[in-house]
Amino acid sequence: MIITSQGNQFLKLQVGDLIVAANPISKNSTMKASRFGADICLISANHPDFNGADQVAFGGKQPLVITGPGEYEIREVFIRGLPAHSSYGKTPDGLINTIYTFTLDNIAICILGALDSASLPAQTKEALGEIDILFLPIGGDGVLAPQEAYKLAVSLEPKLIIPLGYDTPHATKDALKIFLKEAGENVTPVDKVTLKRKDLDGKEGDVAVLACQQ
């Protein structure tokens, strides 16, 4: 699997010719939107910083788009969307945030999206199951702040933690630095994470940081 970040929480996960895009930045966002073709598009929150499905319809690929809670199976990938809440974008009543879990290349993935609280209901935590790679927001301002993000990450016991949203204009100052201090890690951002299931053996809450590829 090859994982890259396109800014904010916009992810590209590729296994062979299968491409999964998560939370693509819309052309209506104030953030820079990038384009590539995807087979599956996961949208956690209905906000321009997350809902640019048209940005991953490109190069002959037209993605199947998932925009909310439920259970889905696309190209033999079983995806579960779990409801949560977000205060992202200062929407008066907040937003429905969907947490996605799925297995790709025999690796269990969890994307927390625009989650704003580290207090997940017990039934939600149970539904997440075992997590190999956890993607979580750490930028504050409507999503998890760095300290509470790390606290939640530890409680979910993933093998690998990848923080997102630390590089946006409205993120908490030094969000990544604060998060890494909480984790006791000194990690240099990389352009991509490339791994197989065996590469996760023996890992317990390790942290990797993706640099934006825009």
Mean predicted confidence (pLDDT) in 128-146: 96
For the segment 123-149, the average pLDDT, to the nearest whole number, is: 96
pLDDT of residue 91: 80
Q: Spell out the domains of the chain, with CATH numbers in brackets.
A: 2-207 (3.60.15.10)
Determine the pLDDT at residue 214: 64
In this prediction, residue 90 carries a pLDDT of 83
Read off the pLDDT band of 93 (50, 70, 90).
confident
| pTM of the predicted protein model | 0.96
pLDDT at 168 over 70: yes
DSSP states of the chain as a string?
Answer: -EEEE-STT-EEEEETTEEEEESPPPTTSSSPP-----SEEE-SSSSTTT--GGGG-BTTB--EEE-SSEEEEETTEEEEEEEEEE-GGG-TT-EEEEEEEEEETTEEEEE-TT---S---HHHHHHH-S-SEEEEE---SSS--HHHHHHHHHHH--SEEEEESTTSTTSPTTHHHHHHHHHT-----BS-EE--GGGGTT-SSEE--BPB--
